Amino acid sequence: MLRVMRAAIVLTVAMNVGLHCATAQQTEGRQPGVPLDQYIRENYTKQEHMIPMRDGVKLYTAIYIPKATDQKWPIMIKRTPYSCAPYGPDKMPGSLGPSEHFARAGYIVVNQDVRGRFLSEGQFEQVRPHLTVKNGPQDIDESTDAWDTIEWLTKNIPGHNGRVGMAGISYPGFYASAGMIDAHPALVAVSPQAPVGDWYFDDFLHHGAFFLAHAFRWLNNNAQERRGPSTERPAANLVPSADGYHMFLEAGTITEINRRFLKDSVPFWNDMMAHPNRDEFWQKRAILPHLKKTAPAVMVVTGWYDAEDLYGSFKTYQAVEQLNPDVNNVLVVGPWVHGGWASTEGDKLGRIGFGSKTGPYYRAEIEFPFFEKYLRGSDHPAPAEATVFETGSNQWRTFSHWPPSEAKPSQLRLQSGGRLQLESADGKLLNSESAAAADPATDPGFDQFVSDPAKPVPYSEEITNRMTNEYMTDDQRFAARRPDVLVYQSDILTDDLVMAGPLQAQFFASTSETDADFVVKLIDVFPDGADAARLPNYQMMVRSEVLRGRFRNSYEKPEAFVPNQPAAIHLELLDVLHRFQKGHRIMIQIQSTWFPLVDRNPQQFVPNIYFAEPEDFRSAVHRVYRTAQHPATISFGQLP
Distance CA 567, CA 552 (A): 9
Q: What angle do CA 282, 285, 291 make, to 5 degrees?
A: 135
Is-cis flag, bond preceding 86, omega within 30?
yes
Q: Are 298 and 330 in contact (CB under 8 A)?
A: yes
Give the pLDDT of residue 19.
Answer: 37
Angle at 332 between CA 341 and CA 185, to 5 degrees: 100
Q: What is the pLDDT of residue 529?
A: 77
Which residues, listed in sequence order, are joined to residue 623 by a DSSP beta bridge?
Answer: 448, 510
Which pLDDT belongs to residue 7? 38
Alpha-carbon gap, residue 450 to 327, rounded angstroms? 51
Q: Where are the domains of the chain?
A: 9-198+285-399, 408-639
Res 15: pLDDT: 37
CA distance 605 to 552: 13
Distance from C-alpha of 249 to C-alpha of 459, rounded to nearest angstrom: 13
Which of 544, 506, 529, 535 is closest to 630 using CA atoms?
506
The confidence score (pLDDT) of residue 333 equals 98
Cis peptide before 325 (omega within 30 of 0): no
The CA distance from 4 to 329, in Å, is: 10
CATH superfamily of 408-639: Galactose-binding domain-like (2.60.120.260)
Closest CA relative to residue 275, chosen from 599, 610, 548: 610
**Phi/psi of residue 583, each to 5°?**
95, -15
DSSP-derived pairing of the beta strands 620-625 and 497-511:
antiparallel
Residues 274, 287: Cα–Cα separation, whole Å: 21
Contacts of 637 (CB under 8 A, 6+ apart): 403, 404, 407, 408, 409, 410, 499, 500, 501, 502
Instruction: Render pLDDT for 293-324 as a digit per residue (tens, 0 to 9).
Output: 999 999 999 999 999 999 999 999 999 999 99
Structure confidence at residue 534 (pLDDT): 82
Residues in the chain: 640
pLDDT digits (tens, 9 = 90+) for 218-254: 999 999 999 899 999 999 999 999 999 999 999 999 9
**b/e sequence 238-252, b meaning 16+ C-beta within 10 Å:** ebeeeebbebbbebb
What pLDDT was estimated at residue 6?
36
Q: Is 91 exposed, middle or buried (0-12, 13-18, 19+ CB in 10 A)?
A: exposed
CB-based burial of residue 478 (10 Å sphere; 0-12 exposed, 13-18 middle, 19+ buried)? Answer: middle
User: What's the pLDDT score for residue 10?
Assistant: 41
Please check whether residue 391 is in contact with residue 523, taking contact to mean a CB–CB distance below 8 angstroms: no
CATH superfamily of 9-198+285-399: Alpha/Beta hydrolase fold, catalytic domain (3.40.50.1820)
Show Cβ contacts of residue 544 under 8 Å, excluding neighbours closer than 6 positions. 472, 519, 520, 521, 522, 573
Q: Strand runs (DSSP E) across 15-146, as ranges? A: 44-52, 58-66, 73-80, 108-113
Low-confidence ranges of the chain (pLDDT < 50): 1-29
Predicted local confidence at residue 3, as pLDDT: 37
What's the rounded Cα separation, in Å, for the pair 419 and 491? 8
